Structure 1
Amino acid sequence: MAPRTDFPPVRACLFDMDGLLLDTEDLYTLCVNLMLDRYGRPQLPWSIKAKLQGRPGPAANQIFQDWAKLPLTHEQYLEELTTFQQKLFPTTKPLPGVVELLTDLDRTGKGEAQGGNRVHIALATSSHAGNFKIKTAHLEELFAVFPQEQRVLGDDTRLQPGRGKPLPDIFLLALKTINDSLPAGETPITPEECLVFEDSVPGVEAGRRAGMRVIWCPHPKLKEELAGREEEVLAGRTGEAGDVDLHQVGELGDGWAEYLLSLESFPYDKYGMVIPQGKTAP
């Protein structure tokens, strides 16, 4: 089909965190492989890891346990895995282009955007509060651009349990937190005015099912794993995220989603975003 080209300017950007803003995917892999090595099991392949990304913890853990068959109870596995994570997660770093992108978007709300509108931002991550704190405590300045009420975490009480990605709820809630914060007189933002940033397949599907545009910026190994299926991913039609109502997702080549190698030199103009020039006064 011909891709759509008449989109309105983007007024809100909704961000996943793990593997998109932070380099946590390789840290997750290292933690899991340390566990597997401890029990004489093979290293985690990307064919399995791809199914874990972006999912709520309980669902991801079940998929992993079904594959790994570790001689542990679920509770024992989590306890041992958490020990490794607590040592490694405080070393997280922003991925290429992240600091510049978040800084630029934050500046649209602090200065005159040369005729453009402010671009609001929110966080929508499957990470629970405990893990979020460990991963971000040393990066407070980076995450300060996200207002507290516009951080939607995996265990957020505003989310219905069991409704994580690839369901659209987390992105719809993130948009609601932005709309609830708009000043009087500013028109509420619609889903098609939102741009979701994701690295995982379930995350892309969640964004598409929310009726939003999507940037897919995956780990190189995930991209390699899905070679030849990129258009399916962008449409939310891989089937990797389980059974879905196909009317809720996109069509191949419909123009609603785009693959990017990294978040460096983001093409703001393409999405109707105007970034103020020069430094914004504090």
Structure 2
Amino acid sequence: MLFVNVCVILGLFTPVYGYKILGLFPHKGKSHYDTYEPLMKALVAKGHHVTVMSHFPQKKPLKNLTDIDIRTGDYLVNVINLEDITGSRLQRYLMPPFLAYVGYGTCSEGLSHANFKNLTNSGHRFDVILTEFFNTECFLNDLNRYQAPIIGISSCTIMPWDDFTVGVPSNPAYIPNSFMPFSDTMTFLERFENTISYIFCLGVFEFLIDIPGRIVASGYFSNSLPNLKKMAANISLMLVNNHFSFTFPRPLPPNYIEVGGIHVGKLNEPPMVS
């Protein structure tokens, strides 16, 4: 009888194996964070302790979710018209430099924020890190100190410069630049412009994103210019809010996982019609 009671008591205790997870989302765009927030909450629901650094802390505290607020000003809400991306040729070529400009502000404001510095100096350890890959990589220099696997995540199809960073094949002969209105069957002139647009985006990344980001990061971490591209290339996984049914066929490495619709919650059942 004693043996049975002991077994019953032990059965009431279920072991929980939770990880300490850091989510770093320094971009001010609310639509971007709306993609990542459901994932962070789902990790909390699975029993993990999640620390989220962003501009959008929870309005109501959530158990096992620690918000680190790095707000410095207004959100980027209703300030970018999607027609600017799908509009004229000039608008399409102006968008990469504009994103680089926004990314530079993200670096300088985020790295200098007191709450970011407090986390950096706190000595906290994390088992895994999730961070956005969009228009800057300057935060990777700090994340590297945690010696934890880094998972990149994107709220949309990744930027052309990230194709080369994470090792996604991008042959401009049949893979259209995401800023261009082409399909996977292009004419010679379209292929030529598609190639030029890839080269242009790589130039924007090198001179307006990577080099400025390295300079800003070196100023806050007291070291020589960090090799951010090498750090980005060593990420363990890339989660992309995209789906092949919405884009054109292309080869993808095994660490590139499409998670289109990750931000969509549970759908309500339609009412029964009598």
TM-score, reference length from structure 2? 0.36
Larger Rg: 2
TM-score, reference length from structure 1? 0.36
